[in-house]
Structure 1
Amino acid sequence: MTEAKTMKELPEYDRPYEKCVHLGPQALTDPELLAVVLRTGTRGSTSVEMAEEVLNLSRDREGLLGLHQLSLTQLQSIKGIGKVKAVQLKCIGELSKRIARKSAKRGLSLNHPQTIADYYMEQLRHEEQEQLFCMMLDTKNHLLGEEMIFKGTVNSSLVSPREIFLSAVSYHAVGILLIHNHPSGDPSPSEADLDFTQRIKDAGELIGIPLLDHIIIGDCKYLSFCQEGIF
């Protein structure tokens, strides 16, 4: 990177805004894209250098993925980023998740685990805690609704079948799908996952609202209990 400390000292083709105008946003690096959002740097640091600090702030997941993990307080720890810029960066992260979710919804088919995983992937793969969702289906496998049942550690002692099936009954569902995430990024089921899923499957058969699948979301990976033949 050039030693210039203000954008005006940079050649025009190196200034993110001008570069975007002439070449399009796809020509910008990740720091340059964020620099356009940040607009201005601070004394002794360009907006691109400030953006690089943001991208390096998350220890576990450096880069753009880190935006989803960073709090307003963490963002404001960077010199030159106040509350307004911190909020803008958080909104960029949330906007990207919603765009991805809207796009995935177009191809959502409740008969195909891949499309269900795609639908939840951007929403869940960045979460630091496990979240359990229940999708309620009608007789034609159309989605009646979805609810987050639990946030924390998904296991048989903390999530009871009663909570799940009360939601299913309220939607007049004839079948359910469960989705939860593994913050580790590895979607392999734990013993607690297996035990919990079996309890829900047994309860569903007894009540007459079968569990059709349980999908675990990892980091750009997923596991379907149905596809894997686990039940």
Structure 2
Amino acid sequence: MESTNEKTLFEVAEIQLTYKSKVSPSLRPKITSSRDAYQVLNKYWDEGKMDFVEQFKVLLLNRANKVIGIYEVSSGTTVNTVADPKSVFVAALKANACGVIIAHNHPSGNLTASQADIKLTKDLKDAGKFLHIPVLDHIIITSESYYSFADEGLL
């Protein structure tokens, strides 16, 4: 007869991963430049939050650099938001992404990358390298324009 302690040791949760898309592959936008990424991000960014609070999002890409999804990692204050690497890559892993483009907005309208932005980019790039999910760009967006780390040679 099993004791209660032995029975408890073998009760674990089963994890299932699924990815469902309502967008057919032929309709997914292809990213060939930072401008393409900006246009997709700008289209799906909440206009009411662009100049109000900082948000961090991830474009998830397949092998053909087509967007398979956009994931909002966090929404913060007027001056910052938290971008936990686990949250970035859990979405990428779950969607079986082959690459990511990370993005956040600056409600101030300033397109200058801060030291914190640069450090976060390096940390996420290193994590992506380890997971074989490259960080292809980091885009800072405002309601008027964008800044690309890749275009500026910072990636």
TM bin, normalised by shorter chain, reads: 0.7 to 0.9
Contact 1:135 1:147 survives alignment (8 Å): yes
Structure 2 gaps of 5+ residues are 1-26
Q: How many residues align?
A: 123
Spell out, residue by residue over 1:142-180, the C-alpha distance to the aligned partner (whole angstroms, 9 max, x if none): 1111110011123xxx32211111000000011101111
Task: Name whichever structure is richer in helix by fraction.
Answer: 1
Partner of 1:146: 70
The alignment partner of 2:125 has SS state of helix
- For 2:75 and 2:33, the matched residues in 1 are separated by 25
Which of structures 1 and 2 has the bigger CA Rg?
1
**Deviating 4+ runs (over 4 angstroms):** none
SS of residue paired to 1:226: coil
Q: Would the alpha carbon gap of residues 124 and 193 (structure 1) be closer, same or farther in structure 2, given more than 3 Å must change?
A: farther
Match of 2:141 among 217, 225, 231: 217
State TM-score, norm by structure 2.
0.72
Does residue 200 of structure 1 match 2:124? yes
Alignment-derived partner of residue 160 in structure 1: 84
SS of residue paired to 2:143: coil
Structure 2 CA distance for aligned equivalents of residues 230 and 170 of structure 1? 27
1:121 corresponding residue in structure 2: 42
Higher relative contact order (CA 8 A, sep 6+): 2
TM-score, length-scaled by structure 1 = 0.50
Partner Cα distance (1:169, 1:114) in 2: 25
Shift of 1:230: 0.6
Q: Show CA shifts across 1:24-76 (max 9, x none).
A: xxxxxxxxxxxxxxxxxxxxxxxxxxxxxxxxxxxxxxxxxxxxxxxxxxxxx
81, 103, 108: which one aligns with 1:184: 108
Tell me how far 1:213 sits from its aligned partner.
0.4
- 5+ residue gaps, structure 1: 1-105
SS at match of 1:198: helix
**What are the superposed Cα offsets for residues 69-110 of structure 1, whole Å, 9 maximum, x if unpaired?**
xxxxxxxxxxxxxxxxxxxxxxxxxxxxxxxxxxxxx9x541
SS of 2:93 mapped into structure 1 = helix
Distance apart, 1:124 and its partner CA: 5.4
Q: Residues 103 and 140 of structure 2 are in contact (CA less than 8 Å); yes or no, is this contact kept in structure 1? A: yes
- Report what 2:16 is aligned to: none
Kindly report which structure 2 residues correspond to 1:87-98, keeping only aligned pairs within 5 A, or say none: none
Greater per-residue strand proportion? 2
